[in-house]
């Protein structure tokens, strides 16, 4: 399956003037408009698992209603038994927990710098990695994580 970098190579990022825009899957799209990673996994589900952790037994839904969007901050999970309203309510909770306490890994630092070099806005990187924009700045300028 895809590593984080390989996955992100298959994504169209939004322009700089739209830092909160959707990340559109550039790989295969199924008949319902969902991105696909292989025959069994949707791209947005794969993205959620990659960036935000386990989602087994849970439904991965879109805040943005763009089926081909794989941006982690546009995704949320609900249980399969939930109805749509409940799913949305849970999504808001997931969003509320999305506080900047995430500890970065060396891998994430590398990906963050690669994306920054491609012109992805600092604010977008901050929301993707769950850290403050200041943190992104120090990492991209190599004032933090200098050893990588």
What residue ranges bind Zn ion (CB under 5 A)?
22, 64, 66, 69, 71, 74
| Torsion sign, CA atoms 79, 20, 33, 129 | negative
Diameter over CA atoms, the chain:
47
CB atoms within 10 A of CB 71: 25
- Residue nearer to Zn ion on the CB measure, 76 or 140: 76
CB atoms within 10 A of CB 138: 14
Question: Smallest gap, in angstroms, from Cβ of residue 146 to Zn ion?
Answer: 34
Question: Smallest gap, in angstroms, from Cβ of residue 22 to Zn ion?
Answer: 3
- Residue nearer to Zn ion on the CB measure, 26 or 104: 26
Q: Classify residue 57 as left (phi > 0), alpha (psi -120 to 50) or beta.
A: left
Question: Smallest gap, in angstroms, from Cβ of residue 64 to Zn ion?
Answer: 3
- Residue nearer to Zn ion on the CB measure, 90 or 113: 90
Q: CA neighbours within 13 Å on the CB side: how many for 112?
A: 30
Residue 29 in tokens: 């799209």
- Residue nearer to Zn ion on the CB measure, 74 or 122: 74
């Amino acid at each position: 399956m895809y590593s984080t970098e390989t996955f992100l190579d298959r994504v169209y990022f939004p322009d700089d003037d739209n830092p909160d825009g959707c990340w559109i899957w550039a790989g295969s799209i199924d008949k319902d408009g969902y991105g696909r990673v292989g025959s069994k996994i949707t791209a947005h589900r794969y993205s959620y698992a990659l960036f935000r952790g386990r989602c087994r037994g849970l439904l991965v839904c879109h805040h943005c209603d763009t089926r081909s969007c794989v941006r982690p901050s546009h995704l949320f999970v609900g249980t399969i038994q939930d109805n749509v309203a409940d799913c949305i309510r849970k999504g808001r909770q997931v969003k509320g927990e999305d506080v900047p306490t995430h500890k970065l890994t060396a891998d994430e630092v590398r990906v963050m710098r690669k994306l920054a070099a491609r012109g992805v806005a600092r604010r977008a990187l901050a929301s993707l990695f769950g850290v403050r924009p200041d943190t992104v700045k120090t990492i991209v300028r190599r004032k933090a994580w200098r050893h990588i």
